[in-house]
Amino acid sequence: MSTEFVRHFPIFAIMLYFLGAFLIVMLGKVRALRHGIAFVATAGPLALLIALVKPIMIDGGIIAYWMGNRVPAGGYAIGIALEVDALGLFFGLLIATAVFVSCLYSFRYMERDDNVPQYYTLFLMLAGGVMGLVLSGDLFNMFIMVEILTFAAVALTAFRNRANGALEAAFKYLVVGCMGSTCILAGTILLYAQARTLNFAQLSALIPGNLGTSTKLAFALLFIGFSTKAFIVPFHPLAADAHGAAPASISVLISGVLTKSGIYGLIRLTYFLFQTMELGTMQFWLVFLGSVSMFVCVTMALAQHDFKRLLAFHSISQIGYVLTAVGLATGLGVSAGLYHAMNHTLFKGLLFLAAGAVLHETGTTDLNRLGGLAKKMPHTTALFLIGAASISGIPPFNGFASKWMIYQAAYQKAAETGNIGFALVTIIALVTSTLTLASFVKVSQSVFFGRLPKEYEKVQEVPFGMRFAMGILALLCILTGLFPGLVTKYLTEPAARAVFSVGTYINSMMGEGTIILQNPVVNFAQAGVWSPINWLFLLIIALLAITIVAISGKYDRVREMNAEKPEGKYDLFFGGEESVYSQVGGEDLFWGFKHNWRHYFGFMHELHSGVVNDYALWAVVALALAIVYATIVL
């Protein structure tokens, strides 16, 4: 395959999504044709980006693609351009994978809904917007893609408009999302007024070292704009509302795709456009925001009674891990953060699809009404448990591998700098992981185990197509946990090197010699190693032991039931009260913990009022703080 033809793959990947959306508008009334178009429009970009792994990830190339074959002239870049390095390709692969799996799941999941053609049109518009954002080499084009993905996400949040809270959630997302988009537009305008170019690579060459007042204001605006897309604190309530109201297949995209677009924007902003990550204060700012998001959102998840809202808060908690690791500004830290971003897309997507399966069969995600579904939905239960083990950081699943790297990266940063604060980050991450595990013990008990309510006795397993989509993500959760060396070698380390290779990025787009900037040596050495294969063997042995004990115990009970026993001899003693089964609901488990922390949870309850005016005020306050920070520190 010629190199010239391969250069077109990024634009093909973007346009396939938009072309699919257009064709479904025209031809989408026929179910089989609609599904065929959606399948090709989502499988095609994934195949195209996989084909770029060797030339970009392995061989270290960068694709610079000018629309209309225009090239820089007179010292300024003319026209729209795409630039795809290992970082952009990494996020593109995450997006394409999540979109493809979600599309497969949608074929059966959305059958009961009205206006299905409109769903797939918006679905593909959202996918195209996010893909265009991460592959674009033009700042204004990034803004256009942000607008497309924002409005598509708002419409999809309100898609099931008869569901409780759907329209309200969409309105909140519209208000604060538009505030974020406006910040990105205003920041772009300020940079254009100063540099007279919108090309990202050229801006990255011109802005560092020329930070005037307007440029610092542009940094603050862009930082807040991309933060709203990542849903980090204080924008996390939007994620809970949107996830709770949107179809599960869209929750996968909001969690696994939209949040990554925000993280991608923050990386490009801090490492490339302004090159501020050498500042200790910038590192502290990102690590602090990541740690706060990590801890606050996991505690909010413990207080939830709705399956999808609980997963939504966990989603932002895991994004906190990613932002914290990226903020360390070390090779190992960035690689670990990208690894966890990938894992988050996989296990969080799996968990949302499992929640969608429960909603599909029972009609509710209320943890206090569910229970015992493992008897009726064994495959969904098994797949959910894989996702729960992954997000909780249990070996040998992928969440453990990336969290282990984050712990090491934070500890190494503390040792190198002598700053005890980075060691505290390790402790916060460990506590957050423990609370995550506790939260999923709660979900497992409330939804899948215990006694099955009578109203769900006729529940059946979800269709094969939905289980197949969940199975893909479950398999990837296992494989990326068992073979971390392959993941880091071929995916995260090349992407992390690209993060620190600003000079190569600029020269690839603008021409060799545009800037003389020595790329630093990136160190990925870890303080220790671990063997996931050994952990897998231990897990298999433990499961076999549990199975043997369970089977033998069942045999013993059958034998005892058939034996003659004196009446009353083996009756259990209950202290005089009648033996009554009590289901442990979502609000009962960890009641003691929540009682001891009642002042904290009371404060958080008052803070999260659910009023859109309050959330808009948070955005204004966050912007004001970002402006003060940029003015004083940069």
Query: pLDDT band at residue 229, thresholds of 50, 70 and 90?
Result: very high
> pLDDT of 407-464, one tens digit each?
999 989 998 888 888 889 989 999 999 899 989 988 998 999 888 999 999 999 999 9
The residues with which 84 forms a beta bridge, in sequence order, are: 63
- Distance between CA atoms of 60 and 347, rounded to whole angstroms? 29
Q: Are 370 and 446 in contact (CB under 8 A)?
A: yes
**pLDDT tens profile 523-547:** 777 755 456 665 566 567 666 666 6
The pLDDT-based confidence of 243 (bands split at 50, 70, 90) is confident
The neighbouring-strand residues paired with 64 are: 83
Asked if pLDDT for residue 159 goes beyond 70, the answer is yes
- pLDDT tens track for 88-127: 999 999 999 999 999 999 999 999 888 999 999 999 999 9
Cα 183 to Cα 192: distance, rounded to the nearest angstrom: 14
Q: Quickly list DSSP for 310-364.
A: HHHHHHHHHHHHHHHHHHT-SHHHHHHHHHHHHHHHHHHHHHHHHHHHHHHHHS-
Residues 91/145, Cβ–Cβ less than 8 Å: no
| CA 623/CA 240 separation, integer angstroms | 21
Q: Which segment of 10-19, 223-232, 580-589 scores lowest on mean pLDDT? A: 580-589
463 cis-preceded (ω within 30 degrees of 0): no
- How far, in Å, are 211, 394, 397, 401, 547 from residue 479 at the CA level? 45, 14, 8, 11, 24
CA distance linking residue 62 with residue 137, whole number of Å:
12
Is it the case that residue 128 has pLDDT exceeding 50?
yes
**Structural element, H or E, at residue 65:** strand 63-66
What digits encode the pLDDT tens for the residues 576-605? 444 444 455 555 556 666 777 788 888 888
- For residue 483, which phi and psi values (nearest 5 degrees)? -125, 65
pLDDT digits (tens, 9 = 90+) for 381-412: 999 999 999 999 998 899 999 999 999 999 89
Query: What is the pLDDT averaged over residues 283-299?
Result: 95
CA distance 255 to 250: 8
327 or 559, higher pLDDT: 327
Q: What is the mean pLDDT of residues 9-20?
A: 96
pLDDT in tens, 188-217: 999 999 988 899 999 999 998 888 899 999
Is 260 in a helix, a strand, or coil? helix
* Average of per-residue pLDDT across 281-287: 94
Kindly list the distances between the CA atom of residue 610 and the CA atoms of 237, 238, 242, 416, 615, in Å, as whole numbers in the listed order: 8, 9, 12, 43, 8
